[in-house]
Amino acid sequence: MSASVSHWFSALGGDAGMPAARPPLDGDRRVDVCIVGGGYTGLWTAYELRRTHPELEVLVVEREVCGFGASGRNGGWVQGALAGDPSTWTGRGDPEGARRMRAAIRSTVGEIASVVQAEGIACDLLVGGTLTIARSAVELDRLRELEHAARRDGLWDEGEDALLGPDEVAARVRIPGAVGALFDPACARVQPAALARGLADAVERAGATIVEGTAVTAIEPIRGTVPAVARTDHGDVHARWVVRATEGYTPELPGERRTLAPITSSMIVTEPLGAERWAQVGWDGAETILDAGPLYHYLQRTADGRIAIGGRGVPYRYGSRTDREGPVPASTVATLRDGLVRLFGPALTDVAVDDAWHGVLGVARDWTPFVTADSATGVASAGGYVGEGVAASNLAGRTLRDLLVGRRSDLAALPWVLPPGGRPPRWEPEPLRWAGVRGVYGLLGLGQEIERRTGRPSRVTALAERISGH
């Protein structure tokens, strides 16, 4: 059971769920900015560059079709949050770093909504916030700790963020056994493939060029008087700047094997539920939902009345392989369906699964997203979103815009911008990388089972988080 890309792409129509590809690159080119990757990061960067600097010649090079990777497969959360420990930003010598990053990413939800409206992108965007659901005392204590830390560090918006009791949760969504939830208003639901494809059209209207079906085989920095170059199977693109926006597919480029680990996430989507079932479930506000377990599930109520739920299946493949087109393992589909029934109980006991798919997201060794731009090499990049890239990619695109044109701005000074020549910590070589990633996920699963069985926090969970650096 698997769509060619995802249920989101299939819902857009086209041949076997795939849109017709734009023409490939036709020989060598010279441009101001060459962007490698037609996902959210590359498209937002191209859009912002052309919107504010229409004199620049911008070319986006995509191996498949725009949105083919994580941008067209994700859970559809436009979330005003970033992965990683907020203290990371403060630890980079910026006492206000965590607050500045939080303000920037939360405002990004509105930025995206504004572009969607201005460009007429039909992507089912609805700003309903997100609920992190606790179904045990252990999980509720974990949410209280998060609330306490957010208040202590000034990262809590009074009157907006809220720790909800069981009755308040039930008024929003009926999840049997829910004992509380954290509510964060800075999140929107979206049809992710529709956003990616609509954004690609907006990029072209802004005057950038997109070529598809063109694989970049190497990115080379400036050498003397020779500009940076993206080498492809259809010709070479020389540019003042080459932007690597390849996220989970980064390890396939020469020299980037250990930059990001491609972690696999899988999703299923139910049949349309119908009015009677929705009356049992509630969920009228269409908030996105996260369960608070160590191996969490993420969900959205789709605009056409389904539930889409995702989580980790086989999290990592040896050698950073990015297998993504084969059928989702039946065991993964069963686990996700069981998670859905565990959340909603009898209302969904016999619900049918209409589709399943998977894809890869990019994870840096420190679980922290980053932006880089080095004028000496002419190479820039952004990524490592750990699955929270729908909003973060927009912020990255605006940040890259300012860095590439040399604008001294608040965005260019955010602490996720690494110094020129800087790069995220590299992952361990194989087989240590495979053993480490698979081991951490195994420990998280074990910790979750211990917590469910004993009703007490598990040291195994804490150990897994320490090992991963997450």
Closest CA to 112 of 27, 32, 198: 198
**Distance (Å, rounded) from C-alpha 29 to C-alpha 11?**
35
The mean-pLDDT minimum among 288-292, 375-379, 429-433 falls in 429-433
What is residue 268's predicted lDDT score, i.e. its pLDDT?
Answer: 96
pLDDT exceeds cutoff 90 at 448: no
Position of tokens 């700790």? 145
Mean pLDDT (whole number) for 85-114: 93
Whole-Å CA distances, 65 to 7, 24, 41, 153, 357: 16, 10, 14, 42, 17
Quote the tokens at residue 101.
Answer: 């990053």
Is residue 72 within 8 Å of residue 360, measured between CB atoms? no
Q: Which residues of 56-87 are buried (b: 16+ CB within 10 A; e: fewer)?
A: bbbbbbbbbbbbbbbbbbbbbbbbbbbbbbbe
Quote the tokens at residue 112.
Answer: 């995206």
Order the strands of the 126-127 sheet from edge to edge: 77-79, 187-189, 126-127
Greater confidence (15 vs 440) lies with 440
Mean pLDDT of the chain: 91
Mean pLDDT (whole number) for 301-321: 83
Greater confidence (108 vs 146) lies with 108
Predicted confidence band at 378 (pLDDT cuts at 50, 70, 90)?
very high
**Distance (Å, rounded) from C-alpha 78 to C-alpha 385?**
12
Element at 232 (helix H, strand E): strand 228-232
Mean pLDDT (whole number) for 177-184: 96
Cα dihedral angle (112, 401, 98, 134), rounded to 10 degrees? Answer: 30
Tell me the CB-side half-sphere exposure of residue 179, using CA atoms within 13 A: 12
Mean pLDDT (whole number) for 392-419: 97
Residues near 286 by Cβ (< 8 Å), separated by ≥ 6?
126, 128, 189, 300, 301
Percent of the chain at pLDDT > 90 equals: 75
Predicted confidence band at 451 (pLDDT cuts at 50, 70, 90)?
low
Q: CA triplet 89, 187, 290: central angle to 5 degrees?
A: 90
Mean pLDDT (whole number) for 259-264: 92
**Distance (Å, rounded) from C-alpha 381 to C-alpha 39?**
13
Phi and psi for 55 in degrees, rounded to 5? -75, -15
What is residue 3's predicted lDDT score, i.e. its pLDDT?
Answer: 46
Q: Which residues of 192-226 are buried (b: 16+ CB within 10 A; e: fewer)?
A: bbbbbbbbbebbbebebbbbbbbbbeebbebeeee
* Ordered DSSP codes for 105-120: HHHHHHHHHHHHHHHT
Percent of the chain at pLDDT > 70 equals: 91
pTM here is 0.94
Mean pLDDT (whole number) for 195-206: 98
Position of tokens 């750990």? 386
Mean pLDDT (whole number) for 319-342: 83
What is residue 212's predicted lDDT score, i.e. its pLDDT?
Answer: 98
The mean-pLDDT minimum among 122-131, 151-160, 396-405 falls in 151-160
Mean pLDDT (whole number) for 232-255: 97
pLDDT exceeds cutoff 60 at 468: no
pLDDT exceeds cutoff 60 at 16: no
Closest CA to 5 of 191, 189, 193: 193
What is residue 308's predicted lDDT score, i.e. its pLDDT?
Answer: 98
**Distance (Å, rounded) from C-alpha 247 to C-alpha 40?**
10
Beta bridge partners of 211: 61
Predicted confidence band at 453 (pLDDT cuts at 50, 70, 90)?
confident
Greater confidence (14 vs 347) lies with 347
What is residue 434's predicted lDDT score, i.e. its pLDDT?
Answer: 74
Indicate the SS3 state at residue 172. helix
Beta bridge partners of 231: 218, 236
Phi and psi for 357 in degrees, rounded to 5? -160, 170
What is residue 325's predicted lDDT score, i.e. its pLDDT?
Answer: 64
Is residue 25 within 8 Å of residue 237, measured between CB atoms? yes
